[in-house]
């Protein structure tokens, strides 16, 4: 019985994926973020989870979230928000972000199979030094709180926090986290048929 959480925020122009501007407009960046979230929710909705949670920052819920339990994020920095979400859960729990639309069920397969006896947590590192997924057999938000986020060594710091607490950590596939237009192009090439890939391709006339 595994809980899966998607952490996301409302895709408001000027508030999401601002590093894609330029060459994208703020409106296009927001549309691309919405496509990324839609792809992520579609994958998560098909996983054999016992509980699906959308940890949301915003008012207008995204399409595709209808089967999710919605928990609104607490205020505070990202580490505080992630920690609070984990403290809401019991049993094996995995959290993913909305910035890896190339995500597949295979990337999360180790979390949804029986965990080896020598694994207490899983971490999916991202190409930018952060991480796209974190899972714990026994959720403990205190192991996330205090980890500085959005740095080029956030993933390493999170891994150290888990291991310092005595958890034995397995590593999931490393994925590209979409921050820049270069990242977006690489991810669209990996998953051209997803909403993200199709949305990026639809922005004709943009020099990418």
| Domain layout of the chain by residue ranges | 3-201
Q: What is the pTM of this model?
A: 0.96
- Supply the pLDDT for residue 42: 98
Spans of the chain, pLDDT less than 70 = 205-208
Task: Give the number of other Cβ atoms within 10 Å of residue 21's Cβ.
Answer: 16
H or E, element range at 89: none
- Supply the pLDDT for residue 188: 97
Instruction: Determine the topology of domain 3-201 in CATH.
Output: Spore Coat Polysaccharide Biosynthesis Protein SpsA; Chain A (3.90.550)
Instruction: Give the CA distances from residue 119 to residues 1, 131, 167, 205, in Å, rounded to whole numbers and listed in that order.
Output: 16, 18, 8, 49
Cα(195)–Cα(34) distance, rounded to whole angstroms?
A: 9
Cα(55)–Cα(74) distance, rounded to whole angstroms?
A: 9
- Supply the pLDDT for residue 192: 97
- Supply the pLDDT for residue 205: 63
- Supply the pLDDT for residue 204: 73
Question: Which long-range CB contacts under 8 A does 146-153 form with residues at least 24 apart?
Answer: 146/79, 147/79, 148/79, 149/77, 149/78, 149/79, 150/78, 152/128, 153/129
Cα(45)–Cα(7) distance, rounded to whole angstroms?
A: 14
Residue 108, SS3 per DSSP = helix
- Supply the pLDDT for residue 208: 53
Q: How many CA atoms lie within 13 Å of 29's alpha carbon, on the beta-carbon side?
A: 20
- Supply the pLDDT for residue 207: 52
């Amino acid at each position: 019985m595994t809980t899966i959480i998607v952490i996301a925020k409302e895709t408001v122009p000027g508030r999401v994926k601002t590093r894609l501007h330029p060459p994208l407009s703020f409106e296009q960046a927001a549309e691309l973020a919405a496509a990324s979230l839609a792809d992520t929710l579609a994958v998560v909705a098909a996983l054999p989870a016992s509980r699906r949670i959308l940890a949301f920052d915003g008012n207008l819920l995204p399409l595709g979230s209808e089967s999710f339990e919605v928990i609104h994020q607490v205020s505070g920095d990202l580490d505080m928000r992630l920690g609070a979400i984990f403290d809401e859960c019991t049993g094996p729990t995995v959290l993913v972000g909305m910035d890896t639309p190339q995500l597949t069920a295979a990337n999360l397969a180790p979390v949804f199979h029986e965990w080896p006896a020598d694994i207490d947590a899983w971490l999916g590192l991202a190409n930018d030094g952060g991480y796209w997924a974190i899972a714990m057999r026994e959720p403990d938000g205190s192991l996330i709180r205090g980890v500085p986020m959005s740095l080029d060594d956030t993933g390493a710091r999170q891994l150290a926090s888990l291991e310092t607490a005595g958890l034995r950590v397995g590593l999931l596939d490393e994925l590209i986290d979409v921050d820049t237009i270069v990242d977006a192009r690489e991810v669209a090439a990996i998953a051209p048929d997803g909403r993200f890939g199709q949305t990026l391709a639809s922005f004709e006339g943009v020099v990418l």
